[in-house]
Amino acid sequence: MDQDLFFMRRALELSKKGSCRVCPNPMVGAVIVKNGRIIGEGWHHGPGLPHAEIEALKACRTDPRGAIMYVTLEPCNHYGKTPPCSEALIQAGIGEVKYAISDPNPVAGGGAEHLRRAGINTQAGLGREEALELNRKFLHFCLTGRPWVVMKAAMSLDGKIATASGESQWITGERSRKLVHRLRAEMNAVLVGSGTLLADDPQLTNRVAKPITRQPLKVVLDSTLKITSGHRLLNESPENLIIFCGSQAPEAKERELRDLGARIIRQKGGAKINLNQALASLGGLGVQSVLVEGGSSVFTSFWEMGLVNEYYLFYGPFFIGGKMSPGVLGGNGVSFLNKAEHLTVKSVKKLGPDLLVHAYKEEPKSCLPV
C-alpha cells in the first residue's frame, strides 16, 4: 500500500472514534509522521474540545518540526470555541499537511491557504472518497442547510412491513434491532408518522448502543395532532419531542401538548405535512441527519419526493403475503422500469437469520474543491 494512503487511513480510523460524540462538528482524525514513523496521533472528541490536529500535537513523542501531518479534514482557520488549528501547525513547525477533503464551512475554511502563505506545503484529496462517506451527514448539511435523510425499514422477503392484522413485532431478529439502536445513536433525529405512533407507541430512543452520550430528537408527523398524553413519547423526555402538524390541527390540543413539554411546529398552507418544509425547519434547528422509521405512507412520501439519501433495508427470512398486508412502499409507483430510481448498493450482510441491504441514492458526493 502507498505510504501516504496508509497513514491517511490510520487518520480515518481514528476519526471514527468520534462517532455519536462530535455532532454538530465533523469526525476528524490526525496523524503526525516523521522519518516514516508515527510520532503523534489524535482525534476530535466533541464540541468545545481540542481538534484532532491539536490532540496529535499534544501526543507527539518527539519534536514535530519538519514532520508531515495527515488529517481527514482541512485544518480550520478561525477562532471559535478553540483557536485555529492552522496557526498551531505553523507554530509547531509542521513541514507538510496532507488532508482528505476541504472544509465546507465558510467560517472555518481557508486553513490550507493560511498554511501555504506560511511556507507549509499542502496536498488535498488523499483518501477523499472515504472521508466524504464518513462525514456525509455533516457535509450535506453544510452544503444544503438540510438534514441527510436515512430510511430504515424492516420487512419480510416480499416487502411487507406488517401482517393484515397490523402485527409487526418482530419481523427481524435481535442483531438487526441492535444495529437499529446503533443507527439511532448516530443520528440527530428519528422520525415517524402518526400511523406508526398510534400502532406501536414507540420510544424512538437508543437503548443498546454504547456509549449513550445523547439521545436523538424524536420527530412525529401528526397533521391533526392525534398523539395523546398516554403515549410514551410524551411521558419520556417530552422536551426532546418535535411534532409537525397541519394548519387545521386543533389549537387547544397544540396548547395542551406544549404544556406537556413538546415542541409543536404548525405548518401553514394546508392540512397535510409538507416534507420539504419539515426538513428545512429541522435544518434550521441544526439537525444534520434524520432516520425515517415509518410507516408505509411516510416511507412512500419521502421516496416519491426523492428525499431519501440512504437506505437500511432489513429483511426477515419469511413471506407474509396478502393484499391487505402493508408493503414498505405504497402509492402509484413507477409506470416504466426506466423511470425507477436505481440505488448504489454499498453492502449486503447477514445478521443472524436476517438480511441487511445498505444502499445510497447516489454515492456520497461533495462539490468541495480538492
The greatest distance separating any two alpha carbons of the chain, rounded to the nearest whole angstrom, comes to 70
Within 13 Å of residue 249, how many CA atoms lie on the same side as its CB? 25
Q: How would you classify the pairing of strands 189-193 and 148-155?
A: unpaired
**Residue 239 annotated as catalytic:** no
Sheet strand arrangement including 29-34: 37-43, 29-34, 68-73, 96-101, 121-124
d(CA 270, CA 149): 23
Q: Which of 13, 41, 53, 293 is catalytic?
A: 53
d(CA 5, CA 15): 15
Beta strands in the chain (DSSP E): 29-34, 37-43, 68-73, 96-101, 121-124, 148-155, 189-193, 217-221, 241-245, 263-266, 289-292, 310-315, 344-351, 354-360
- Report the Cα–Cα distance between both ends of the chain, in Å, rounded: 22
The set of catalytic residues is: 53
